[in-house]
Structure 1
Amino acid sequence: MHTDYFTKLLEDDLKAVVKPQYVDQIPKAIRAPDRSVEALIKGRAAMQNFDEVLDTLELRHILDRDVSHLSGGELQRFAIGTVCVQQADVYMFDEPSSYLDVKQRLSAARIIRSLLRPNDYVIVVEHDLSVLDYLSDFICVLYGKPAVYGVVTLPHSVREGINIFLDGHIPTENLRFRDESLTFKLSEGTEEYLSDRSRAFKYPTMEKTLGNFHLKIDSGDFTDSEIIVMMGENGTGKTTFCRLLAGAIKPDGTRKVPDLRISMKPQTITPKFEGTVRQLFFKKIKAAFLSPQFQTDVVKPLKLDDFIDQEVKNLSGGELQRVAIVLALGLPADIYLIDEPSAYLDSEQRIIAARVIKRFIMHAKKTAFIVEHDFIMATYLADRVIVFDGQPGIDAHANTPESLLTGCNKFLKNLDVTFRRDPTNYRPRINKLNSQLDQEQKLSGNFFFLEDNEAAKTS
C-alpha cells in the first residue's frame, strides 16, 4: 500500500484536499464573489453527500451567512464540510475538533469516517485522544524535539498507538521518547487534599436574558481546593455563567452573586501586548512569577522557558494558550474561571496543563470553574460537574453541581454516547455506536464508568 501511494503521488494521479489547522484564517483567504456558506460548499460539491454533510455538521441554519461572520465553531464545521463534499483520493484534516463541543466533535468524526472508500485515504491530525480513538483505524505516533526534528512510527492499532504515545515508549524498537508515562488515574493527588466543607460559598438561583437567549441557573455551592467542570454544548451559557460569577454581567432581577476576587482566562486570546513574554509577566503577575513555588508548580512544567524572551505577538496558538493559563493562575483570586484551557495544545501539553491546574488549585486552596470540551481532560480535572442542557442559543439551563459520575452520566445520556475505561492507563474510551458494550451500558444506564470493573471487557 505505501509504495503504491507514493508512486501514485509521483505520477500525479492523486487529488488531495486539506482542512487547514487554523480555521480563523479562512475568511481572509476566500476570494470568491459570493462568500455565503451555501455558495462556497455547493461550488465544491462533487459527491452525493451534500445533504448528509449539512445535517450532520448542523450547517443548515448558517447557509446564507457570509463566512466572515461565522464563529470559530461554525468556521470549523464549514471547513470540514467543504472538504467532505469534494471528490478526492486523499482527505486530510488538521485538528478538526478545535472550537467544537463534544457532540459536534463526534458528529465531525462520523462524517469524516463516512469518506472511507476502498480506494481513498483519510489522514487526520488530532489532539483530543477520545476523538482520535473514535475516529481512527490505525495510528502513527510522531515524536522528536519540537521545531528541531520529528520521527513517524509505523502504523499501530488504535489502542496500541495511543497507549504507546501515553507510555512514551515504543516496544518494537525498544525506544523511549519521553521520560515519564502519562496516566489518567482519577484519584491522583486528591486524597491528601480533602476539601474543607466549612468554607463553602453559595450562589443563588439566577436567570439571565441576553437578546433572544435565556439561561436559568440552579443554586449551588463550591469550596476551597475544588475544581468544578462545566459540561454542555456550545451556546448553552457556560461562558455567560462564568461572566455572572465574575460580576462582569448582572443577573436578571435583584439577585446578588457573592462578592469574590475572580481571575478569568477567556476562551479567545488576542495578543495585544507590545513586548516579550517575560515583560508581560513582570507587568501583570510579578509577585507570582518571582515566587519559587509558582515557578516549580506552573511555569516550569508548562515549558515557558522555551519562549520566555520572545515577542508576545509572534507566539503560536499553543504558546499563547500556555501564557494565558500562567497569567490567569498568577493573579491572586478566590475563584479561577478557565475557559477551554486545551485549545491549540497538543495531547501531551493538555495532560501537563491539566496537572498544573489541578496541583495549583489544591496547593493554593482556591476554587476553579473550568469549561472544557476535551472529555479526557474534563474528567481528569473535575471534582464535580455542572451540566448545561436545553436548546443551544435559545433557552438553556445550568444544573446544580453534582458528582463526576452522575454529572457525566447525565451529560453523556443527552449525547447518546457511552464510555469505558482503558485498563492500562485508565483513559476514558468512547464505545463505537451500537457496539455490544454501547448497547449494554445504555440498557443499564451506565454511560460513564469510574470503576475499573470493565477491565475484563477490553477491546
Structure 2
Amino acid sequence: MSIRFPGLSRAPFRTLEPSSRPAPSWTTWITFSTLLVWRSCKTSLLTTLLMIYAELRQVQDRDIGHLSGGELQRFAIGLVCVQKADVYMFDEPSSYLDVKQRLAAARSIRELLRPDDYVIVVEHDLSVLDYLSDFVCVLYGRPALYGVVTLPASVREGINIFLDGHIPTENLRFREESLTFRLAEAGDDFMVDRARAFAYPSMEKTLGNFHLKIDAGSFTDSEIIVMMGENGTGKTTFCKMLAGAEKPDGGKSVPRLNISMKPQKITPKFQGTVRQLFFKRIKAAFLSPQFQTDVYKPLKIDDFIDQEVQNLSGGELQRVAIVLALGIPADIYLIDEPSAYLDSEQRIVASRVIKRFIMHTKKTAFIVEHDFIMATYLADRVIVFDGQPSVDAHANAPESLVTGCNTFLKNLDVTFRRDPNSYRPRINKYQSQMDQEQKLAGNYFFLEEEK
C-alpha cells in the first residue's frame, strides 16, 4: 500500500473506493461521453486525462458494459480523478493495464496531489508503487487471519523493508527469507544447456482490421524470452501462432514442438477440487518430488488443495494455472501474464518458480508480462512489440535484456535504475537529474555491476 500524508487536515473526509476489478454493471445505460460531460466542472484536469487516455476517444460513445477490462479500468480511474473530494482511494489501479497505461495512470493519480487532500493507493506492481508514492505503509500478517500496518516510511525504505521481511525499528521479522532481484540467482544451481537451437521464420497474421508482422528469430533450451509491448500489439496472437492455434498468413509454418500454454484469461470449468484437477491433468508431475519442491510447495497450493475449483479466488486460480502449465511435459512453455491477480510477494515467488523450473528442465519459455520488475527478473532475452495497437503491430527479433529494454523504454520516454540493495528496477522521476542524464547517455535501462 502506498499512502501520502501531505498535511493534517481536519476537514470532513469523503472517500471514493473504485474496485480494482470494476464490474460492468455500473448503470450501463450511461455512456462514457455522457459521464464526462456531467463531470465537466473540472475541465483542465479532464483535458489532461483525455490527452493521456487519447485511445479512449475511440470508445467514448460505447456503453460501459461493452468496455474491455483495460478500458474499464482507465475509465474508472478517470472518473475518480475528476471528482471533488478530500480523500482519493485507488485499489490496484494497474490491473488490466500495460506498462505504458500504468505509467499514464500513475501520472494522472499524482495530478490529484494538493496541500489538504489525501491519496491512498493499494498496488502490487512495485515499480508503479515506487513511482506513485511519497510514503509507504507495509502490511504483513497471515491471509484471512490478521494483518498489521506499519508506520509510514520513505518509498525506498518501505519497499526494501517489505522485500527484506524485517522491520529494523521494531527488530521484527515477518518473513523468514528476503526477496531479491539478482538476475543470476535463479540459474546459479544449474548448468545452462543451450546446445539445441530452434528458429521460426518471418510471419504475418491478419485478424479482421489488425495486422501483425513478425521478424524471424530463434531460441534455445534453458532460455526465457519475455514479450514486451502495449496491449493490442499481438503478443497473445504470437503465442497462439507458436502453439499452432493460429496459422500464419501465406501458409508458413513454425517448428513442430510440444507446447504447454497458460492462457491470459482463466475460466474455471472443472467440476471438482484442485487435487482432483491435478490428478486428472498432471498426475505424473503432481506425484514427482522434484516438481513438488520446485513448483507446488513454493506456490503454497496446499492452502486450498481441497477446495472446489469453481470457488477459488483470482490469485488462487492463477497459481493453479501456473502449476497446470508447468506440469505438462513440453518443449516450449507459453505463459501469458503470470502476475495477474497475484500480490507483490506471490509475483516474486511465481517468477522464481518459473525461472527455476525452466533452468532445471532445460526447456524454453515465452512469457507475456506487464509487471516490469517481474519481466526483467525472468528475461534472458526480450521481444519488443511496437506499432499502432489493434491496427498494425510489429514483433522484433529476440534481443538481449538490456538492448530490448532500452528500445522498449525509449518508446515510453521512461528511464529505470537498479536499487543497490534489492537489485529491483526503479523508475526515475520524470525530468529528474538521473532521468535526464540517462536519456542523454541513451541508457534507459542498464544493469549495475554488483559490488
The interval holding the TM-score normalised by the smaller chain is over 0.9
5 Å-filtered alignment, 1:202-241, equals: 202-241=199-238
1:319 aligned partner: 316
2:417 aligned partner: 420
Selected match of 2:373 from 372, 376, 383: 376
2:398 aligned partner: 401
Q: Residue 51 of structure 2 aligns to a residue in which SS?
A: helix
Q: Does 1:287 align with 2:265?
A: no
Structure 1 146/46 Cα, relative in aligned 2: closer, same or farther at 3 Å?
farther
Q: Does 1:302 align with 2:302?
A: no
2:360 aligned partner: 363
2:35 aligned partner: 40
Per the TM alignment, residue 119 of structure 1 is displaced from its structure 2 partner at its CA by 1.0
Q: Residue 433 of structure 1 aligns to a residue in which SS?
A: coil
Conserved in 2, the CA contact under 8 Å of 1:41 and 1:81?
A: no
Deviations 1:286-344 (A, max 9, x none): 11111111111111000010011111111111111101101111111111000000011
1:31 aligned partner: 27
Q: Distance in 2 between matches of 1:42 and 1:308?
A: 49
Deviations 1:382-441 (A, max 9, x none): 010101111111111111111101011111111110000111111100000110100000
Higher deviation after alignment, 52-61 or 218-227: 52-61
Number of residues paired by the alignment? 445
Deviations 1:426-459 (A, max 9, x none): 1100000110100000001001011238x9xxxx
Selected match of 1:447 from 427, 444, 447: 444
Q: Distance in 2 between matches of 1:198 and 1:225?
A: 9
Per the TM alignment, residue 279 of structure 1 is displaced from its structure 2 partner at its CA by 1.1
Q: Distance in 2 between matches of 1:27 and 1:195?
A: 47
Conserved in 1, the CA contact under 8 Å of 2:94 and 2:125?
A: yes
Q: Does 1:132 align with 2:125?
A: no
1:72 aligned partner: 69
Per the TM alignment, residue 284 of structure 1 is displaced from its structure 2 partner at its CA by 1.1
AA at the equivalent of 1:116:
L
AA at the equivalent of 1:106:
L
AA at the equivalent of 2:255:
P
Selected match of 2:262 from 256, 262, 265: 265
1:347 aligned partner: 344
1:15 aligned partner: 14
Q: Distance in 2 between matches of 1:2 and 1:176?
A: 29
Per the TM alignment, residue 32 of structure 1 is displaced from its structure 2 partner at its CA by 5.4
AA at the equivalent of 1:15:
R
AA at the equivalent of 1:239:
T
Q: Distance in 2 between matches of 1:288 and 1:186?
A: 27
Per the TM alignment, residue 42 of structure 1 is displaced from its structure 2 partner at its CA by 3.5
Q: Residue 201 of structure 1 aligns to a residue in which SS?
A: strand
Q: Does 1:167 align with 2:144?
A: no
Conserved in 1, the CA contact under 8 Å of 2:224 and 2:381?
A: yes
Q: Does 1:182 align with 2:174?
A: no
Per the TM alignment, residue 4 of structure 1 is displaced from its structure 2 partner at its CA by 5.6
Conserved in 2, the CA contact under 8 Å of 1:274 and 1:313?
A: yes
Q: Distance in 2 between matches of 1:431 and 1:93?
A: 22
2:48 aligned partner: 52
Higher deviation after alignment, 300-309 or 50-59: 50-59
Conserved in 1, the CA contact under 8 Å of 2:416 and 2:425?
A: yes
Q: Distance in 1 between matches of 2:114 and 2:234?
A: 39
Q: Distance in 2 between matches of 1:348 and 1:227?
A: 21
AA at the equivalent of 1:214:
H
Conserved in 1, the CA contact under 8 Å of 2:20 and 2:73?
A: no
1:92 aligned partner: 89
Q: Residue 413 of structure 1 aligns to a residue in which SS?
A: helix
Q: Distance in 1 between matches of 2:190 and 2:145?
A: 40
Deviations 1:104-163 (A, max 9, x none): 100000000001111111000000000000000000000001100000001000000000
Conserved in 1, the CA contact under 8 Å of 2:7 and 2:115?
A: no
Q: Distance in 2 between matches of 1:33 and 1:71?
A: 16
Segments of structure 1 that go 5 or more residues without pairing to the other structure are: none
Conserved in 2, the CA contact under 8 Å of 1:385 and 1:403?
A: yes
Q: Residue 326 of structure 1 aligns to a residue in which SS?
A: helix
Structure 1 96/3 Cα, relative in aligned 2: closer, same or farther at 3 Å?
closer
AA at the equivalent of 2:211:
H
Percent identity over the alignment?
Answer: 76
Q: Distance in 2 between matches of 1:89 and 1:116?
A: 10
Q: Distance in 2 between matches of 1:360 and 1:213?
A: 35
Structure 1 32/382 Cα, relative in aligned 2: closer, same or farther at 3 Å?
closer
AA at the equivalent of 2:27:
R
